[in-house]
């Protein structure tokens, strides 16, 4: 397993692999890797001859008051995690490698980014799509792997790949959770023990919503109410949003039918956590 920091080095390595006729998978991450990321890497390893993992805390997807500086970083830990999952190469560029001076071109998407996190983090998805598009052009992977944990991101990436004809197959991977149900996230490290306990309210509330749908409830508003009311029973939780949308376009629905995304964002103390489930109505 190798770590490279420049675009030139990744390209040279991928070109060598291509000459040998090998296929390449890409797993874009911001590092501080956990089993969620490793599940993506393992999936890529099982479907491609070589797997590149990018580890880059992408400054242009963070708003001015967000946690860019505080975001956890530990390359040694990430190297072990990639090695353990069978990845072949880490691309770990400096921000100046990805964003030289006078950087003025962006991938901007509409529709799928209007609601949920897009509504409260206005430049977030422009930053995500731009860096992911750059990574696609740098690595030129056959397939790229994304977690359903960030469901709106997944829908948005699928959209721009389709709209802009990027020659890459997007593979979605299920949410990996802690044993008690909390969705694994690098941001969970911000939680103190009391907040870590309180954070269980996200998965518990979603479970109630899911059970109601499984029992036949089809009103999106009823599901939102059930989830919101349960979230409000936790004193450390402050709801950012609870939304029921169609998974393809990320637009609100009144009635649950087809592939539906039920997504929440909740502050536990100062830490903003997201979670969701997708259900076929
Ligand atoms: P991040 O490092 O948070 O930008 O995440 C990198 C990739 O890992 C994204 O595609 C995420 O959706 C995915 N990911 C993060 N956490 C999880 C999880 N708990 N389960 C599955 N995928 C995840």
- The enclosing domain of 36 has a CATH number of 3.40.50.620
Final residue before a domain boundary, out of 138, 173, 208: 173
Our mutation pick for probing the ligand 1 site, out of 25, 33, 36, counting the most ligand atoms within 8 A of Cβ, is 36
- Relative to beta strand 169-173, strand 143-147 is parallel
Total of domains in the chain: 2
Q: Look at residue 281 and tell me if it is in a domain.
A: no
DSSP H/E element including 118: helix 116-120
Nearest CA to ligand 1 atom 18: 36
Q: Is 209 helix (H, G, I), strand (E, B) or coil?
A: helix
**Ligand 1: nearest atom to the Cα of 184:** 19
Angle ∠(70,77,97) on CA atoms, nearest 5: 65
In this structure, are 196 and 103 located in the same domain?
A: no
242: β partners: 264
Q: Is residue 250 in a domain?
A: yes
For residue 233, what are the domain limits? Answer: 186-276
Query: Of the residues 125, 140, 173, which one is the last residue of a structural domain?
Result: 173
**247, 259 in Cβ contact below 8 A?**
yes
Same domain, 130 and 268: no
Are residues 106 and 153 located together in one domain of the fold? Answer: yes
Say what the pLDDT of residue 281 is.
78
- CATH for 245: 3.30.1300.10
- DSSP helix/strand/coil, 124: helix
What is the structure's pLDDT at 194?
98
Residue 181 lies in a domain: no
Which one of the listed residues 34, 37, 92, 124 is annotated catalytic?
37
For atom 10 of ligand 1, the residue with the nearest CA is 146
Q: Which residue has the tokens 């829908």?
A: 155
* Residue where a domain terminates, one of 173, 203, 225: 173
pLDDT given for residue 67 in this prediction = 95
Are 122 and 219 contained in the same domain? Answer: no
pLDDT value of position 182: 98
Report if residue 92 sits inside a domain: yes
With the CA atoms of 69, 75, 78 and 83 taken in that order, what torsion angle do they form, in degrees rounded to the nearest 10?
Answer: 160
Listed as ranges, residues in the chain with pLDDT below 50 are none
């Amino acid at each position: 397993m190798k770590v490279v920091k420049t675009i030139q080095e990744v390209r040279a390595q991928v070109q060598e692999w291509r000459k040998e006729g090998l296929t390449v998978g890409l797993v874009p991450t911001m590092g501080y890797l956990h089993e969620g990321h490793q599940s993506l890497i393992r999936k890529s390893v099982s479907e491609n001859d070589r797997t590149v993992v990018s580890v880059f805390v992408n400054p242009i997807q963070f708003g001015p008051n967000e946690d860019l500086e505080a975001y956890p970083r530990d390359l040694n830990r990430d190297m072990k995690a990639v090695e353990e999952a069978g990845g072949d190469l880490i691309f770990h560029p400096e921000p100046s490698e990805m964003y030289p001076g006078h950087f003025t071109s962006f991938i901007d998407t509409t529709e799928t980014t209007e609601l949920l996190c897009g509504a409260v983090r206005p430049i977030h998805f422009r930053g995500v799509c731009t860096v992911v598009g750059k990574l696609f052009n740098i690595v030129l992977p056959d397939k790229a792997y994304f977690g359903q944990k960030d469901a709106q991101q997944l829908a948005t990436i699928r959209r721009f790949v389709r709209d802009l004809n990027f020659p890459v197959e997007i593979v979605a991977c299920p949410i990996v959770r802690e044993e008690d149900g909390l969705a694994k996230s690098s941001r969970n490290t911000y939680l103190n023990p009391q907040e870590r306990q309180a954070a269980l309210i996200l998965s518990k509330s979603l479970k109630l919503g899911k059970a109601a749908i499984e029992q036949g409830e089809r009103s999106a508003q009823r599901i939102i109410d059930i989830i919101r009311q349960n979230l409000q029973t936790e004193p450390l939780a402050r709801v950012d949003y609870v939304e029921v949308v169609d998974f393809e376009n990320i637009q609100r629905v009144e009635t649950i039918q087809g592939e539906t995304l039920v997504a929440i964002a909740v502050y536990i103390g100062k830490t903003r956590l997201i979670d969701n489930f997708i259900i076929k109505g």
